[in-house]
Structure 1
Amino acid sequence: MSCNCAKNQVNNSIVKKTSSSSCPNDGKCTTNLIENKSLNIKTDATGAIYYELTDNSKTSIIKFEYNKTVDTTFQDNSYREEVLFEIPNQFDEINLKDDKLELVKMIFGKHCFCKGQAGIFTIIKGKLNLKKKEKTTSFNLEFEILNIDHKIKKISGTIK
């Protein structure tokens, strides 16, 4: 008898790292553009939100991630926040505020050992400005998640 190992599928999406100016001093941040993907927001049986990225030639995802520098000798000591939103591949300018952020499927994730605070949340209070000029996309985002403490409240970046 022999066993057949599962083979990793090749991911056809293109990920571009970008510059960002919104990182707290106590951690590291990355901003990525994940091209030709769509953000599918789902809810599990307990009512918790999760997401999947699926192929879509008309949209791309901007993902900002903050990882706090922690003492790794302690168990369950990690802390991460992320913001994801979907943008059309073809646009000149997008300006959205509060409940209109739903148009770009904007979500915030807080991943930590912090009961009642961890999870993925829909962002419905904030302001997003995106501009595309030639092959450069710039964005500014300010947001708030009600009843959740979070370090990231403003994000700005440039994607070339």
Structure 2
Amino acid sequence: MKSFFALSLVILMFSCDSTKSTSDEKSSNTLSPDEKQEMSKNISSITLESGCLPAGDCNLEVMPNTKMDFKIDTAEMLYPEFVDDLHTNTVKFSYNEDTDKELMDGHYREEVYFEVKNGTKEMNLQDMELKDVNFLYGRFCYCKGSAGYFKVDKGNLTMKDGKLTVEFANGQVPQKLGKITASYK
């Protein structure tokens, strides 16, 4: 019964539909060759250096020409919807903890998202300034009342000389991740 409720909640979160309303959004499928060339001048690759906990697997990726549009589901929980935007890339870090495959509710995952405007070479944000990049933390597990997405306004995000450092505390639910470092081109 518990797993049915959790599965229903996840399906409900991702089944909500909305329409685009921002005039600067443009599908990456409709980009001209010149626009695609310009996009390649932004973060093209990112490599995790530290931050992954030994009990799981991590993935760090750049979602090009994508920004987050925040939505609220019927359970009044926040979630991101990813929309095309020529001026923004979204960076996603995910941590999936190794669990017993025999346990239906044994999964544990944390995610971190933030946006980087195209052409940004350096950034140094602290605490409330994290709102400028829509910094978002997600925790997903069978942990009643302390799972979902949460906006973060405590921490530091620094990009300089090809090095990315993120330190944060969501202040709302327990978290295992706290510091991530990566290199980027």
> Which TM-score bucket, shorter chain as reference?
0.7 to 0.9
Q: 1:109, 1:120 within 8 Å by CA — same for their partners in 2?
A: yes
- Separation in structure 1 between the aligned mates of residue 45 and residue 82 of structure 2, nearest angstrom: 16
Runs of 5+ unmatched residues, structure 2? 1-27, 30-39
Aligned position for 1:75:
104
**Structure with greater strand percent:** 1
1:89 maps to 2:114: no
1:119 maps to 2:148: yes
Q: 2:50, 2:180 within 8 Å by CA — same for their partners in 1?
A: yes
Q: Output the TM-score relative to the length of structure 1.
A: 0.84
Q: Output the TM-score relative to the length of structure 2.
A: 0.73
Match 2:167 to one of 118, 142, 154: 142
Runs of 5+ unmatched residues, structure 1? 1-10
**Structure with greater helix percent:** 2
Aligned position for 1:64:
93
1:129 maps to 2:158: yes
Question: 1:53 offset after TM fit, Å?
Answer: 0.9
Match 2:84 to one of 35, 41, 55: 55
- Separation in structure 2 between the aligned mates of residue 91 and residue 45 of structure 1, nearest angstrom: 36
- Separation in structure 2 between the aligned mates of residue 108 and residue 20 of structure 1, nearest angstrom: 19
1:159 maps to 2:174: no
- Aligned residue pair count: 146
Q: Structure 1 vs Structure 2: percent identity of aligned residues?
A: 35
Q: 2:57, 2:97 within 8 Å by CA — same for their partners in 1?
A: yes
Structure 1 runs of 4+ off > 2 angstroms? Answer: 14-20, 44-47
Q: CA RMSD in A?
A: 2.0
Question: 1:19 offset after TM fit, Å?
Answer: 2.6
Aligned positions of 1:16-55 closer than 5 A:
16=45, 18-55=47-84
